[in-house]
Homo-oligomer: A and B are copies of this chain.
Amino acid sequence: MKESLGARTIVYPAPVFVVGTYDREGKPNVMTAAWGGICCSKPPCVSVSLRKATYSYGNITERKAFTINIPSEAHARVADYFGIASGKEEAKLAAVGLNPVKSDLVDAPYIQEFLLVLECTLIHTIEIGLHTQFIGEIKDVKADASVLDESGIPDITKIKPILYAPEIRAYHGVGEFIGKAFSIGKSLTES
């Protein structure tokens, strides 16, 4: 028997994206957002939704670019801080001793210490309501050599990303391997 919880923003899992931008003066900013995800395969695109009140909103509107930096478990505390503090008041990366790297491909900085980053140019802006959705075309994915498997793909068990459970406001790690996609359900197609 199902209970009605009302119109709420609950999906599991939500990601933890740290969005990197430059402001008008070229000062790097980062903020954490959980409303986003991949939204197209060709061209490869990722979306992230921000409130107009955020400093990053103005930066993306101005610079037409952003990065998505994926925090590891070791970065959970700073990622949470990046979601609490405002870039209007604080130089957040400097405050926690992390380093911005200027992207060669897009007009935005990524975080040197994070293990997986996406460099994106803004291609769509969708006004939804409290949040505006920015769709970025992924120009490159960069990963630390230490987290790549033998075929050159980032290994999720080496990156140890975190996920977010909305409403209950909890961060969790990635759990055990369950199975291969496009594979474990194959036998059911023959039933």
Contacts and interface: CB of A to CB of B under 8 A. Distances in A.
Contacts of A123: 128
A172 B156 contact: yes
A163 to B, nearest CB: 5
A9 B44 contact: yes
B179 A145 contact: no
B189 A170 contact: no
Given A4-B142, A35-B38, A140-B7, A178 B68 contact: no
Given A126-B135, A130-B42, A156-B165, A177 B171 contact: yes
A166 interface: yes
A80 B39 contact: no
Contact of A39 (B68, B76, B128, B171): B128
A181 B156 contact: no
A13 B168 contact: no
A170 B156 contact: yes
Given A11-B70, A35-B38, A43-B128, 14 more contacts: A10-B141, A13-B161, A13-B174, A35-B40, A80-B182, A80-B183, A81-B185, A126-B126, A163-B163, A164-B181, A170-B178, A171-B180, A171-B184, A174-B175
Interface of A: 1-15, 17, 34-47, 49, 68, 70, 73, 76-85, 90, 95-96, 116-118, 123-124, 126, 128-131, 133, 135, 137-145, 148-149, 152-156, 159, 161-186, 188-189, 191
